[in-house]
Amino acid sequence: MRMWIRSVLAVVCVVSLAGPVFAQRPADEDGYEMWLRYREVVDAGRLAAYRGAMRQVVAQGTSPILRSAADELTRGLSGLLGTPVTTATTVGDDGAVVIGTPAGSAAIATLGLDTRLASLGREGFLIDRVPVAGRQAVVIAANDDAGVLYGVFHLLRHLQTQQPLDAIATTSSPKVQIRMANHWDHLNRRGVERGYAGLSLWEWGALPNYRNPRYTDYARFLASLGMNATAINNVNADPRILTDQFLEKVAVLADMFRPWGVRLYLSINFDSPRRIGGLKTADPLDPDVRRWWADQVENVYRYVPDFGGFLVKADSEGQPGPQGYGRTHADGANMLAEALAPHGGIVIWRAFVYNPEQTDRFREAYDEFVPLDGTFRDNVIVQVKNGPIDFQPREPFSPLFGALAKTGTMIELQVTQEYFGFSNHLAYQGPLFVEALQADTYVKGEGSTVAKVVDGTVHGYRLTGMAGVINPGTDRNWTGHPFVQASWYAFGRLAWDHELTAEAIADEWIRMTFSNDARFIEPVKAMMMISREAGVNFRSPIGLTHLYSQGDHYGPAPWTAGLARADWTAVYYHRADAEGIGFDRTATGSDAVAQYREPVARVFRDLALIPDEYLLWFHRVGWDHRMKSGRTLWNELVHKYYEGVDQVRDMQKTWDSIEGLVDDRRFHHVKALLEIQARDAVWWRDACVLYFQTFSQRPIPDAYERPEHPLEYYRGRERVIYFPDTWANQPPPGVPQ
């Protein structure tokens, strides 16, 4: 027995010296917590430093937002430090985190921070390590409780990403005023247009009685990114949202969002005076219509005293608007703005419009809105999609940015992957968002980026904002694909600070959502950073666009033609024939390029200067046109389609390489989705290459694998239903959102 015991001890000793034989896999997670997981810090040195500096949360004040901030900080620190953190109203010892405003906290008021806070506005914050009441403390201070809340989330992010304690001092304030989530949720059947993560979050049938805790977590996620607004219903709006039946439900959501600094907005139907008001007209200049809207606004504010305002889609894709009465967008927006102004509300009027008589849909928003510049009331802001068509995988920036010198202009970006494979594909949108925001309009010389137009730097707008169309639903992980969370995160971070890089944001998100292990971070970050470009390459390279199947927008259908409107078809955009391919938007075509300022217009119109990725947006060229790579256009097109597939396959290899560094549940979920994405990428590649080959009459170079099926197979495949139609009140097939 003694010899046996010695043998066992010897083995234990060897194993202890050599390290664990089997590394313990991380516990399975379902993704519900997204980037607010608050797991104990694994770096022993960092953990010891954090514990020594942050043992207690001190909050003086009782406002709902300050209470949220204190509770979140206590919750976050307790998880990150692996030990309960106490709360108090006075500093009792070293190691306190003191939060508050000079007006609401005696402890903060004694620190003389007024000068430092003065430049940070209402929502900005500062974090520093200073003595408070003779004790060393971490201070989070702001001019308003909302700023304190954002500072709390910043501190927790600093700890979650395991940054040094001596780098904790910072000041930060948002670049734009309105940082908004746009939902395309319907009122009936809990449908979500372009939603790929389950049913709508809003349980209209259970409201107002049941306050689902998920609503609070939703608001927490928005607040953690500094987002302060949400429009909860589809811009293809149901007029019933303004009835008492729904307003009492809306009021509950507003109550649950308010402690997190999130203000509620509603999308409205312009025809509401007729649809639910009993009037015979919705003419914005009709006195009865104006009176009706004023009464409706009064009623909304009775239910939601801090209501933000209306988001409006009008005269677009069949939605009613002022043009039906011979009026302008400004007439319609100003009528609503007049009703909202006494309450401090605003109108967000979408510029996503296109007229069936227009020869080039690209031109429409610019041509309709520029002549109206200066005619909108000062509580109106125009919301412009990042590109001139419709959230395509790559678009040039909309020429409307910078063109409205007297009208506030906010950008609309899409998080939900309408054109990026729904919740089946990994396509981190951070690079797309940054590409759009950092595009230089040159409207007031070099450096007049879209971001600086949107934040008011260029034209001094009174109202500024950014909106992101998001898709959270009843899926346990909120977004369907785990990595769609990253695009929501990226939008929120950029709405707060558009100078951040997509790579830095990805690094934060990976650390907070998965792991701080460099073996995991670096390969996964590289995978994320290439994922958007891969999606462009296997769908619509070199400036091709709008090649998707109609109705679902999922699979390839470059052959689509003969619909009710030409600009709903693929052939309208690519114009391929035996001579070449592309849409001529130079002076010999629609001259949409003239809507841009110089030198942007010169670059876009000149074949020698235009970047390859925008070539077919602005030029029609022959199949043998020589590209910058030295390849012919046909060979470059084939190369890009195949490169996109290779990039997805590389993403699969990367993800496989990190097995064991992430929990099995999420690992196998993403692995399966990447298999679907690789299958779909081949589908897109083969369908598009074979289709365009019917015009080019040129061979696929020998170096590339052959398509498995003939073109007719792919033309038939689009009829297979991959996603059931669960969207209530959806526009007719072929109508994009």
Residue 191 CA to residue 185 CA, distance in Å, equals 6
Residue 268 CA to residue 274 CA, distance in Å, equals 13
Residue tagged active-site, from 418, 435, 440, 475: 418
Six-digit token string for 729: 């009140």
CA distances, 50 to each of 24, 57, 77, 155 (Å): 25, 13, 9, 11
Alpha-carbon torsion (581, 584, 586, 589), positive or negative = positive
Pick the residue with more confidence: 592 or 9? 592
Pick the residue with more confidence: 389 or 3? 389
Query: For residue 447, with 0-12 CB atoms within 10 Å meaning exposed, 13-18 middle and 19 or more buried, which class applies?
Result: exposed
Average pLDDT over residues 319-323: 97
pTM value is 0.94
Six-digit token string for 487: 């695009």
User: Which residues partner with 132 through β-bridges?
Assistant: 135
Calculate the average pLDDT of the chain: 94
Average pLDDT over residues 378-401: 98
pLDDT confidence bin for 735, thresholds 50/70/90:
very low
Average pLDDT over residues 111-130: 97
pLDDT confidence bin for 15, thresholds 50/70/90:
very low
Residue 537 CA to residue 647 CA, distance in Å, equals 9
Three-state SS at 296 = helix
Average pLDDT over residues 552-579: 96
**pLDDT cut 70: percent of the chain above it:** 94
Instruction: Give the lowest-confidence range in 2-6, 227-231, 471-475, 651-655.
Output: 2-6
Print burial letters for 691-728: b (CB count within 10 Å at least 16), e (below 16): bbbebbebebeeebeebeeebeebbebbeeeeeeebbb
Residue written as token pair 């919750």: 75
CA distances, 132 to each of 78, 90, 184, 666 (Å): 22, 10, 47, 44
Average pLDDT over residues 427-439: 98
Average pLDDT over residues 416-443: 98
Residue 70 CA to residue 67 CA, distance in Å, equals 5
Residue 393 CA to residue 539 CA, distance in Å, equals 8
pLDDT at 356: 74
Per-residue pLDDT tens digits for 260-302: 999 999 999 999 999 999 999 999 999 999 999 999 999 999 9
Whether the predicted pLDDT of 162 surpasses 70: yes
Per-residue pLDDT tens digits for 186-223: 999 899 999 999 999 999 999 999 999 999 999 999 99
Per-residue pLDDT tens digits for 141-151: 999 999 999 99
pLDDT at 358: 79
DSSP state of 322: G
Residue tagged active-site, from 203, 317, 591, 606: 317
pLDDT at 23: 56
Residue 545 CA to residue 592 CA, distance in Å, equals 16
Q: Is 725 noted as a catalytic residue in this protein?
A: no
CATH architecture classification, 44-172: 2-Layer Sandwich (3.30)
Whether the predicted pLDDT of 719 surpasses 80: no
CATH number of 537-583+620-717: 3.90.1330.10
Q: Is 418 noted as a catalytic residue in this protein?
A: yes
Sequence-ordered strand ranges (E) for 313-427: 346-350, 380-385, 409-414
> If you write DSSP's letter for every residue of 216-269 in order, what string do you get?
HHHHHHHHHTT--EEE-S-SS--GGGGSHHHHHHHHHHHHHHGGGTPEEEEEE-
CATH architecture classification, 178-513: Alpha-Beta Barrel (3.20)
Average pLDDT over residues 517-545: 98
Question: Do residues 667 and 659 make contact, with C-beta atoms less than 8 angstroms apart?
Answer: yes
Residue 684 CA to residue 12 CA, distance in Å, equals 55
Residue 324 CA to residue 270 CA, distance in Å, equals 11
Six-digit token string for 619: 């030029």
Residue 655 CA to residue 652 CA, distance in Å, equals 5
Residue tagged active-site, from 360, 364, 390, 475: 390
Whether the predicted pLDDT of 257 surpasses 70: yes
DSSP state of 192: B
Question: Do residues 376 and 433 make contact, with C-beta atoms less than 8 angstroms apart?
Answer: no
pLDDT at 718: 56
* Residues contacting 147, CB < 8 A, separation 6+: 101, 120, 121, 122, 123, 124, 125, 173
pLDDT at 4: 45
Average pLDDT over residues 65-69: 98
Domain segments of the chain: what residues?
Answer: 44-172, 178-513, 537-583+620-717
Whether the predicted pLDDT of 727 surpasses 80: no
Determine which helix (DSSP H) or strand (DSSP E) holds 105, and give its type and residue range. Answer: none
pLDDT at 355: 80
Nearest to 378 by CA among 441, 463, 486: 463
Same fold yes or no, 178-513 and 537-583+620-717 = no
Look at phi and psi of residue 720 and say left if phi exceeds 0, alpha if psi is from -120 to 50, else beta.
beta
Whether the predicted pLDDT of 453 surpasses 90: yes
Average pLDDT over residues 623-643: 98
Give the count of beta carbons closer than 10 Å to the beta carbon of residue 171: 16
Print burial letters for 95-113: b (CB count within 10 Å at least 16), e (below 16): bbbbbbbbebbebbbebeb
Q: Is 40 noted as a catalytic residue in this protein?
A: no
Whether the predicted pLDDT of 732 surpasses 50: no
Six-digit token string for 666: 């999420």
Nearest to 685 by CA among 661, 671, 662, 706: 706
pLDDT at 729: 36
Whether the predicted pLDDT of 340 surpasses 50: yes
**What is the 3 state secondary structure string of 362-379?**
HHHHHHHHHHHCCCCCCC
